[in-house]
């Protein structure tokens, strides 16, 4: 499977590898989409290379991780390619699509919307799983059998839910400050009402804690890693990692949930613990 109308926007040599940004025509979204791709030196030399996908949070783009997370040095050492999709469709022309930072543009929530007017283009789950991942692995000769997934905040929700909704696709999962139980927080209520409608029973299929609580055995027996700052202003109202922790305990899912005094929600926190996440994935994708 190839990506239609793939266009290189920019490329930057980086720790012996290359950080690139691309644009392509997405069939699932029905609009042009952008993504970032870090290729480590091993991939440039033609070696079989695993692919780690990072899902970013509200207001972010395909560039945020590459600029702010400080991951490329270690990804080059570990031989990990890193894919960074955008966080939503852009330019759909839906009235008010960019009026709120927690809904619409920059806030795709990594699901397929079922409600008009969003259902036409807001298909981020299908885009990532059915189109972007197969397209990128094929186009760049990466190892489609060694895929990892991680993310931050809304992207942490995306990482946990896509990993649970698509068993067997991803071999490793982690998250920074994920929205852990979106059916029980204002960001999730707002997004799910708009994208999925008023029937809250349909929301549970996109709630990491609800999905984990349904498991009869550990879906990721090799463990899930989550880091959470305790000075994060969104922790109590929006993130609720304790609910995912309880669901993991119920399902027998090994979880390392580390709580860090003094760290907030931003990319200084993410940078601080990035090396641990990259090692977590590299060990499981070896
Ligand atoms: N504009 C908002 C803050 C938005 C914000 O904090 N976004 C986070 C993700 S939040 C959950 O998904 C983020 O990653 N921002 C990018 C960054 O560079 O920090 C406000 O007014 O509070």
- Using one digit for the tens of pLDDT, what is the confidence trace for 159-170? 999 999 999 999
Token code pair at residue 236: 């109590």
Overall average pLDDT of the 128-139 stretch: 98
Token pair of 100 as six digits: 């709120």
Q: In which band, very low, low, confident or very high, does the pLDDT at 142 lie, cut at 50, 70 and 90?
A: very high
Q: How many other CB atoms are there within 10 angstroms of residue 118's CB atom?
A: 24
Q: What is the pLDDT of residues 237-269, one digit of tens each?
A: 999 999 999 999 999 999 999 999 999 999 999
- Average pLDDT of the chain is 98
238 Cα nearest atom in ligand 1? 11
- Index of the ligand 1 atom closest to the CA of residue 233: 22
* pLDDT, tens digit, 9 for 90 and up, residues 93-122: 999 999 999 999 999 999 999 999 999 999
Residue-level pLDDT at 1? 77
Can you tell me the mean pLDDT for 49-76? 98
Rg of the chain (C-alpha set): 18
- Pocket of ligand 1 contains residue 59 by CB under 6 Å: yes
Share of the chain above pLDDT 90, in %: 99
Best substitution site from 56, 58, 185 to test ligand 1's pocket, by max atoms within 8 Å of Cβ? 58
d(CA 53, CA 82): 6
Q: Residues 189-233: pLDDT tens digits?
A: 999 999 999 999 999 999 999 999 999 999 999 999 999 999 999
Tell me the pairing of strands 143-152 and 172-176: parallel
């Amino acid at each position: 499977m190839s990506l239609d109308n793939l266009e290189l926007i920019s490329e930057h040599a980086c720790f012996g590898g290359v950080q690139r940004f691309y644009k392509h025509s997405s069939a699932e979204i029905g609009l042009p989409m952008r993504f970032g791709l870090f290729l480590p030196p091993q991939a440039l030399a033609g070696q079989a290379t695993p692919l780690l996908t990072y899902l970013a949070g509200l207001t972010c783009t395909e560039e945020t991780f590459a600029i702010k997370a400080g991951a490329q040095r270690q990804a080059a050492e570990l031989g990990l390619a890193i894919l960074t999709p955008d966080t939503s469709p852009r330019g759909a022309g839906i009235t008010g699509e960019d009026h709120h930072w927690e809904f619409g543009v920059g806030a795709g929530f990594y699901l397929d919307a079922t409600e008009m007017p969003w259902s036409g283009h807001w298909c981020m789950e299908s885009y990532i799983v059915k189109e972007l991942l197969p397209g990128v692995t094929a186009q760049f000769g990466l190892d489609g059998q060694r895929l990892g997934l991680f993310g931050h905040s809304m992207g942490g929700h995306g990482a946990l839910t896509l990993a649970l909704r698509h068993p067997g696709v991803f071999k490793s999962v982690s998250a920074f400050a994920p929205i852990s139980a979106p059916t029980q927080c204002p960001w999730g209520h707002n997004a799910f009402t708009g994208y999925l409608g008023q029937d809250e029973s349909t929301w549970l299929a996109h709630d990491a804690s609800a999905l984990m609580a349904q498991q009869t055995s550990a879906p990721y027996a090799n463990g899930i890693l989550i880091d959470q700052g305790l000075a994060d202003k969104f922790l109590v109202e929006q993130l609720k990692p304790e609910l995912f922790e309880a669901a993991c305990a119920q399902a027998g899912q090994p979880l390392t949930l580390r709580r860090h005094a003094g760290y907030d929600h931003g990319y200084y926190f993410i940078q601080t613990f990035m090396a641990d996440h990259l090692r977590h994935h590299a060990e499981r994708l070896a």
